[in-house]
Structure 1
């Protein structure tokens, strides 16, 4: 088992997906109600699912192909 070092966000594929979502889908927005936040995040998630290659490419790193 290969453990990741602490605070190595660039090595964690899930963190890379969250960063993409923050940069492209859910950043710089102000919501008036909690429901608006949920609806917007759900739409952003659905857009990401439609772009499966983004999810796949976020986990592909040169160093990871060696394992």
Structure 2
């Protein structure tokens, strides 16, 4: 998970290639340039599995817990 900047042109996806799972699934960006703004080191866990970790582990990475959509 790094931070990037993409400059380009947004356009509608071709027929049949919409992604209904995403709010922006009807458009794509034809990138003209990509710039890496900040590189993230590898996390010690998968974000999708974070809520399954122990409370002490979650407290160690509390700043990621704050960004989670799920609250337990």
Do Structure 1 and Structure 2 share a fold, with TM-score over 0.5?
no
| TM-score of the superposed pair, with normalisation by structure 2 | 0.23
> Structure 1 or 2: larger strand share?
2
| TM-score of the superposed pair, with normalisation by structure 1 | 0.24
> Structure 1 or 2: larger helix share?
1
